[in-house]
Structure 1
Amino acid sequence: MGERGRDRSRGRPLPLGWDEEAVPADLGASTSRPVPGPGGDGEAASAPASHGWSRLSRRSRRLIALGAVLVLVGGLLIALPRLLGAATGPEQVTREFLQAVVDGDLETVRAHTQDARGVSTAALTAEVLTGAEDRLDSFEIRHVAVEAGTATVTAALRTGTESREGTFTLTSSEVGAFSPTVWELAPVALPELQIDLTPGVQEIEIEGVTLPVEDLLMNREEHAPRIAVQLLPGTYDISVPQVTPWTEVPQRALEVPAAFEKSEISVHDLQLVLADDARAEVQRQADAMLEDCAASTSSIPEGCPFAAWGTQEDTPGTWTLTSSPRIESLPIAAFLWTLQGAGTAEFTPAGDAEPIEVPFTVSGTAAISGQGALQVSVPAEDSEHYGYCTDAENGYITGVVVLEEPGQDFSSECA
């Protein structure tokens, strides 16, 4: 025990993992060792090439290892963002858009909506969408196809009344080498509602929300104005505001299909119509006119819709209405309608002559004046002219005045 400190072998460093061979016992000696020659005479020979790594200095080996680590880290910096970017691939982008439609997130919807020339987005509001029924309530991604930077996503779309498939196109782009691939949804087309209006109508209502016609016009021809708006899938109530007691508010329930593609839904009958009281008044005045005509004893009564043209002028006789016409009205402008109805009369010449059957047509006009009165003209004049009364503040038409001649001053009729 007392001699343990005397016979000690010289200490050697532990291998650090950088050398393929142990460090020599003699710290002061060279790291190269003699290798016996072929003859076994002990002469030094060159070390094999496989030991070249061991000849590098410790500093060089560490620099090489550090470089390899940096290459690996750089590869990860490039690859990881692209791998992580898969979470926002074409399926997810499409899913986010459709979910925005379901949720009524109109800001997101508008960001992806395709602009259509002459078609307004004024109806894409929360107020309009909230009142709609049978909106898109669910969807399911069915298929995703990716090729050469373009993706096509097919989804099943369901509303309260139908189920159909929709197809969406996306394109990819790369912001930079260290950024993930970005998928963008191609602009999405929405169905277009196109409505023919009576000339002079200034407003329409969609789900109770009033919209100025001036902002929605796609055709500004005065004789045939047409508006166009984009709408999301759903069923909408559309009408023209009530403007006078003599008119009825036409209302239509229109279904916009669950189709994210360009399609046109045309409406031709959203026009002001005469109310029951107005139609009754028109019929009353037409019947009174026909009664006066039937009281005539002339074969060609003046100012009447019927005449026995096969007789000599002023042939005496009697008239009988065998079929009274039912007067129908057709809007031709705001507060102005044409009137028409077909009937039959008989003229019996004085004496023993046979009765003559005379089919006839009643035509006329009905107008609502600037003072709110219903004016009926039956039969219609050969040439009639009209003037519009307008609101001094907003320019809206408030009535029509029947003129005796063009250029006539009718301002007093609008007061």
Structure 2
Amino acid sequence: MESVLCFRCGGDVPADQQWCGCCAAPVVTVPAPIPPVPTSPAAPAAPLPGPSLTFASGPFSVRPKRTAPIIAAVAVLALVAGVLALGAARYAGNSPEAVAEDYFDALAHGDVTAALGLMAAADMFRDTARYPLLTGAALAEERYRPRDPRVGDATETAAGIGGRGWRVPVSYRAADRTVDQNVLVIDSGGGYRLQAPLVLLGVDGERGRAVTVNGVALGRSRNAYAFPGAYEVVAAGNTLLAESRLTTVAQRAEVPVTGQTVYLAPARFDVPQLAGGAQENIRGQALTALDRCATSTEAQPAGCPFGLNIPGTGATVRWTITAYPVVSVRSDSSFWFTSSAVQLADDGTGRVHWSARYTDYTGAAKAQSGDSAFRIYGSAQATPNGIQVSLT
């Protein structure tokens, strides 16, 4: 049976093994010892066989070195070592993929401090007044956090600022949806850091109502940066409009001019419903406003839906409403959609009787009367003191 000689430590191992049991190096096969040729007693003893022995002539022969298996084994060893090194670097946080994994792992645990620590220029994002959603409160509940993140292989890109950059694809679950989001990792000189791995949330259709995202108040801002995850957006109800709520996640978009990829979370509310009792309140105020208009003696009462063009001076008018219109509210009006007000409308049945006395341009006293139809135009708006109705 052939013996196996380790090229590194020289140890013999069984021929069916490809690695040295002592040093784990690849081995080379050598032949079994050749029986010595009979010689005279004075002849020198035969030397031991070995891979380094060569003779120009004589009774001994050595099998040539098997260099091809050695080279192949070393190549495999180098490849395995490289793969292990890359895996160790990723596991230890020394790769773009590892930084992305650590970031989403921190978010999954609600650890905002750790997440910010992995971002480039993190100090600017610690201003909670400017970035209210980059706080622990916005990730207080697990349903707001990204889940089951899967990080793909990084691709080097020229988009890095201040050094090399890598685009790392990440897929995660949020609000029972799968979200695909690329994050940018840069070599900041002090290690790998994420370049603004955030989502821009934009609110529309709140109609003057106070807005919260994951329970955090947005204040007067309609746009805010947020960590990746799910966003429960609520427009609080008031005396005029009922509460509206929705849940949104990040969506990929491109800036039209630059073609830059950004991630937006659109939060556009549908047409709001009126708050309970608001319709009756508005109708009552509208009828009260009409009665107030009827007490005027002017030809053009201010803030009233009816009036006369008198061809003279010194006019006094007596108004009597003979038919009140049915007032309704149009919260779906596109003209008012971005406003906190709602538009008033009617059914066109309003009528008023008038009696006017005036002096015409010749100096003669005149008296006239008649009936006119009128339409209501106006708005209703929520104020700290309740609903305010204005007629025009």
Query: What TM-score results when the alignment is normalised by the length of structure 2?
Result: 0.49
- Bigger-Rg structure (1/2): 1
